[in-house]
Amino acid sequence: MAVANRKAQECLLFHSDRGVRYCAKSFRGRLEELCPSVRQRMSRKGNSGDNAHAESFFKTLKR
């Protein structure tokens, strides 16, 4: 959905939790296929606050 709604740019950062769907080879392969320059970043194991910090940062950036 993100690819359909936005044009992928250089230095794209894809942040997610460590959910099984985001760690799967099929997902990571498709992500790289759609945007070869993408960097995938995941929250550290056992640290659910990582994602909250990223979301707060991007909310500030959008404002």
Look at residue 49 and tell me whether its pLDDT is greater than 70. Answer: no
Considering the domain boundaries, does residue 63 fall inside one?
A: no
Q: Is the pTM of this model over 0.85?
A: no
pLDDT of residue 46: 64
At 43, the amino acid letter reads: S
Q: Token digits for 14?
A: 């894809």
Query: How far lies 3's CA from each of 6, 7, 8, 30, 35, in Å?
Result: 5, 6, 7, 11, 9
pLDDT at residue number 47: 63
Is 24 part of any domain? yes
In a domain, 14, yes or no: yes
Q: How many domains does the chain have?
A: 1
Residue 28 within a domain: yes
Supply the range of the domain harboring residue 20.
2-46
For 13-44, the pLDDT digits (tens) are 777 777 788 888 898 888 888 888 888 887 77
Residue 31 lies in a domain: yes
